[in-house]
Amino acid sequence: MAAAWFGLRGACATALAVSTLFILHAFLDWPGNYMEQANQVGELAGFWVAGVIPGWLFDRQQSLLQEIANANEETLLGLVSALDLREHNTRLHSQRVREYTELIGSRFGVDEKTRREIGFGALLHDVGKIAVPDSILLKPDKLTDAEWQEMLKHPEAGYRIIKRIGFLKNAAEMVRAHHERYDGNGYPRGLKGDQIPLGARLFMVADTYDALTSERPYRSPVTYEVAAEIIGKDDCQFDPAAVATFLAIAPEELQMIAERYLDADLPN
Ligand SMILES: [Fe+2]
């Protein structure tokens, strides 16, 4: 039990405590019989083996799980960085939006696993833009109708890229739905209301907040108050429950996330 709860240290501490009691008992109740004494020592040794080996295995398992989680995280950041090489600053935007979405998700009451999954979906939301040609993605001028049709394919492309990765299954659905709108006028499938995965509904609020409060080549960022007013008034694009959860978050908490990525010179 100690091994499962506290790992190797817990197992050793428990074995030590029991051994001390055992030795005390052996001295106070000396049997005067060497065979009996040998049995007691054998029992004590068996207790250590039975306690310490599961403790070590538990610690080992925990550290392997952590290594897998770190490797997954690095792989995802690698995917986002690949996109960032073409369309600069998308990684900082994606990382900020991930944090905003996870924050809204935790205040919305989602469990830890779901919070992590919607974080993955937010981080990878535009990964499908890898499939959009440079001539369209980086075009400084207005896109033609045909070019827009090409650009509108990126949610489905992103879905296809990550849907086969087991731990990204739910995130893939979120990537596919990240341009849907609560009123049903979004794309690619025109989903409406609760048909849109919860993660995507929370993401839409986070993404819009980040877009409004970040520096863009064509306009200056707006304040929290202005962004909150714009989001609060929009009952077409957003889930009202997601908006209410977002508006209940203290502006300072959102500001702390934004500041973490200010002038960030993160390695690609
Ligand atoms: Fe997108």
Per-residue pLDDT of 36-67, as tens digits, reads: 777 777 877 877 777 777 777 888 888 888 88
- Average pLDDT for the chain: 87
Q: Which of 129, 139, 153, 192 is catalytic?
A: 129
Q: Is 192 a catalytic residue?
A: no
Least confident of 32-36, 63-67, 238-242: 32-36
CA 27–ligand 1 middle distance (angstroms): 74
47 CA distance to ligand 1 centroid (A)?
Answer: 58
Distance of CA 31 from the midpoint of ligand 1 (Å): 78
* Ligand 1 mean position, distance from CA 130 (Å): 11
**Model confidence pLDDT, tens digit, residues 116-168:** 999 999 999 999 998 999 899 888 889 999 999 999 999 999 999 999 998 99
pLDDT value, residue 238? 97
**Which range is least confidently modeled, 21-30, 91-100, 101-110, 204-213?**
21-30
Q: Delimit the domains of the chain by residue range.
A: 1-84, 89-268
Q: Say how far apart CA 94 and CA 224 lie, in whole Å.
A: 19
pLDDT of residue 44: 76
Rounded mean pLDDT of 216-238?
91
What pLDDT sits at residue 108?
A: 98
Give residue-wise pLDDT tens across range 70-83: 888 888 888 888 77
Task: Read off the pLDDT of each residue in 31-40 and give the average, rounded to a whole number.
Answer: 71
Is 5's pLDDT higher than 70? no
Q: Does domain 89-268 have CATH number 1.10.3210.10?
A: yes
Q: What is the pTM of this model?
A: 0.78
